[in-house]
Amino acid sequence: MQTKSLLILSAALLISTLNATNVRADPRKACTASEAKRARLEAAHLQDWKAVYSSFKRFGGCDFGAVGEEYSYAISRLLAHRWEDVGSLLSLASDDEEFRQFVLRHINENVPEEEAQAIITNSRQHCPANGKWLCSAIVDY
């Protein structure tokens, strides 16, 4: 059952990822080695959506490799264990399509199985009215 859930999550997110462009917060700005190091450390300790958004704005040009993996872990942790805060994500993403695509890109194969289960359950059972874009990307209603 757990493998099936992960496959469902992966398939849904693959579709959304294929539809999303690989947009960085500021694609004109290259990421220095120093910025990448700071971004990775910061991403590993993100505790809420406001912090994720702030980090995305500051280090969006570093969203690849190990930094991208840390963002994926942070986003999956928040979606799995802090679903009650999803309203904050929805508010931040409502006027920022790049941030919305950033979040969707990071719900990926790096999501641990247990968290994938929780994310699927949250999306199915507790999807806010204004969160259909997110929940639909996670599971097919």
Whether residue 128 is predicted with pLDDT greater than 90 in this model: the reply is: yes
Amino acid letter for position 33: A
Higher confidence at residue 29 or residue 108?
108
Give percent of the chain above pLDDT 70: 78
pLDDT mean over 27-37: 82
Higher confidence at residue 22 or residue 120?
120
Residue ranges of alpha helices (H) inside 20-107 are: 33-43, 49-59, 65-81, 86-94, 97-105
Domain holding 134, by residue range, is: 2-138
pLDDT confidence of residue 138:
87
Domain count along the chain: 1
Whether residue 105 is predicted with pLDDT greater than 90 in this model: the reply is: yes
- Rounded CA gap, 37 and 43, in Å? 10
pTM, rounded to two decimals: 0.79
